[in-house]
A = this chain, B = another copy of it.
Amino acid sequence: MPRPTVHDIAKNAGVSLATVDRVLNRRPGVRPATVERVREVIHEIGYIRDVAAANLARQRNYQFVFVIPDLTSAFFTQLNGVISEAITRSLVDRTDISIVRVPANDPHALVAELEKLDSKSLNGIAIMAPETPQIRDAIKRLKDQGVSVIGIISDLPNSDVDQFVGINNIAAGRTAGLLLGMFLGPQPVDILVIAGSMQARDHVERRQGFDAIMTEQFPHINVLPTVEAWDDSHLMEELVGRALAARPEIGAVYSIASGNSGLVKALTKRCPVRRFVVAHELTDTSRAALENGVFDAVIKQDVGHIVRSAIRMMRANSDGRDLIASQEKIRIEVVLKENLN
């Protein structure tokens, strides 16, 4: 019993192939009663469209673009690499993906790039960007032209994106806080919090979540104000070193951003006290730090998963299909020395 085809539908419904095709592809010119009959038969015989054959016939190909900041830290290098790998892979299934890297912290340039995109030949865009009014408008324009827009990594809650692919950063901050709270136990200590900058929405949310759980569940722990290092490794090393020297009672460090090399340097230089450290993103630096025992835990989001999920979503949106919700859920992963690989 081979799987039923359009011919079987036609035969069973007593109509011609042309009519079946009109129903299947929602073309006009079919009486409602006939549509109904064909639909019934489709259901009855369990017809399932062969998407491969359909795409072949339709000469369908997908054009997707990833728009990401042109930062060069380990996390963004990794992101870039993962997208490149996806590009290679996607050649086999009629999908063209390109990367547009835009200057970070320059909404104007970003909008200019978005305007450049040719929405005629474009099916989907996955974008990581801060949410400004201009960007919101540019996204709206793309959506109006039928382009599927997916936010990745950093949410755009007030924009008209189809979906967001990434973690809940408030929960990520809470998770970091819970870990440190449990590691530290009941004695009062200070926690040093450091970040790249507090402009990025994801960083702000992590701090929010961190503060919230600390207040709720670990009121005996004193969370210091955020030290901002502006994505500068040397500056971070200096600031952390100074902070630790000034307050030896600091019992733990929470690193909100993904750049950690300066932090690692500062921590390894002066190691009189055992301090608990939780950081974000698994990179070569943070992996080594976990292995050396400099970091105790890393909160991670799987970049490969994010990229693949975004591609699946753009494709599903273009086809008007739905997908497996659980597969698209990006998890807040807790990585310790023992579950590193």
Residues of A within 8 A of B (CB): 3, 48-53, 55-56, 85, 89, 91-94, 171-172, 174-175, 177-179, 182-183, 185, 209, 213, 296, 304-305, 308, 324, 326-327, 329, 331-339, 341
Contact = CB atoms under 8 A, between A and B. Distances in A.
Contacts of A93: 51-52
A48 B304 contact: no
B174 A338 contact: yes
Contact of A308 (B3, B327, B332): B327
A53 B50 contact: no
A290 to B, nearest CB: 11
Given A56-B53, A296-B182, A89 B324 contact: yes
Which secondary structure characterizes the binding site on chain A? helix
Contacts of A326: 304
Contact of A331 (B3, B333, B338): B333
Contact of A92 (B51, B296, B331): B51
Contacts of A209: 338
A178 B327 contact: no
A228 B335 CA distance: 29
B50 A56 contact: yes
B52 A213 contact: no
A183 to B, nearest CB: 5
Given A174-B338, A178-B337, A182-B296, 12 more contacts: A49-B92, A50-B94, A56-B56, A171-B341, A175-B339, A182-B183, A213-B338, A304-B326, A331-B339, A332-B339, A333-B334, A334-B339
Contact of A91 (B48, B172, B174, B331): B48
A45 to B, nearest CB: 13
Contacts of A304: 324, 326-327
A55 B334 CA distance: 41
Given A324-B85, A326-B304, A336 B179 contact: yes
A94 to B, nearest CB: 7
Nearest to A299: B339
19 contacts: A48-B91, A48-B92, A50-B56, A52-B55, A53-B56, A171-B338, A171-B339, A171-B341, A174-B338, A175-B336, A175-B339, A177-B338, A178-B337, A182-B183, A182-B296, A304-B326, A305-B327, A334-B335, A334-B336
